[in-house]
């Protein structure tokens, strides 16, 4: 079972979610600046996470995804997450509308992972921060651990290890 969680993080919130997922799944975790396409070869499970910035993943995450050959992730179960602003903390109706409609990093990452041959194991997920630089909203790390378990239940490699039990 070769599994890896890759993340980018400017203020540390996405890193915290990534570490929580790694602990829940007992997998390795690496920041994107330590990852090359070769690092992602032959994986059974790959989870990628990014802060949402300007409705998109960071440039580092986008560049890594773009550098992958078609079918690079064939045989891998994949999942994507982001961190994003809690809409409830935005006072302006107009700004809240724009942020919501603009879209989020996780769905973009998930589409790219599938385009590179990965098999999506869970819907893209967003974890909330309560200010531009964080912190994460209360309960989000617990929700991240639960999301990890949902992925583990979908993944054959984990089932074979009776991880779910």
Ligand X SMILES: Cc1cc2nc3c(=O)[nH]c(=O)nc-3n(C[C@H](O)[C@H](O)[C@H](O)COP(=O)(O)O)c2cc1C
Interface residues toward ligand X, by CB under 6 A: 9-15, 51-55, 83-85, 99, 102, 129, 132-134
Q: CB 154 → ligand X: shortest distance, Å?
A: 25
According to DSSP, the residues that pair with 50 across neighbouring strands are 82
Q: CB 93 → ligand X: shortest distance, Å?
A: 16
Nearer to ligand X, 24 or 99 (CB): 99
Nearer to ligand X, 35 or 73 (CB): 35
Name the E strands within the chain: 3-7, 28-31, 45-51, 77-85, 119-120, 125-129
Q: Determine the Cα–Cα distance for residues 107 and 76; give it in Å rounded to an integer.
A: 18
Nearer to ligand X, 12 or 117 (CB): 12
- Whole-number Cα distances in Å, 24 to 43, 60, 93, 112: 18, 25, 37, 25
Q: CB 122 → ligand X: shortest distance, Å?
A: 19
Nearer to ligand X, 64 or 73 (CB): 64
Q: CB 158 → ligand X: shortest distance, Å?
A: 26
Cis peptide before 135 (omega within 30 of 0): yes
Q: Determine the Cα–Cα distance for residues 19 and 35; give it in Å rounded to an integer.
A: 16
At 114, which helix (H) or strand (E)?
helix 105-115
């Amino acid at each position: 079972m070769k599994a890896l969680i890759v993340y980018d993080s400017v203020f540390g919130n996405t890193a915290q979610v990534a570490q929580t997922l790694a602990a829940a799944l007992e997998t390795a975790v690496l920041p994107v600046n330590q990852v090359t396409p070769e690092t992602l070869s032959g994986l059974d499970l790959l989870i990628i996470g990014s802060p949402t910035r300007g409705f998109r993943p960071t440039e580092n995450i986008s560049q890594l995804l773009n550098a992958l050959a078609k079918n690079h992730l064939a045989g891998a179960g994949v999942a994507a997450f982001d961190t994003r602003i809690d809409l409830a903390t935005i006072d302006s109706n107009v700004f809240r509308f724009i942020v919501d409609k603009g879209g989020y990093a996780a769905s973009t990452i998930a589409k790219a992972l599938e385009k590179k041959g990965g098999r999506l194991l869970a819907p893209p997920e967003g974890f909330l921060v309560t200010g531009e630089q964080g912190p994460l909203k209360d309960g989000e790390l617990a929700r991240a651990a639960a999301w990890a378990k949902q992925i583990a239940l979908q993944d054959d490699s984990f089932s074979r290890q009776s991880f779910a039990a």
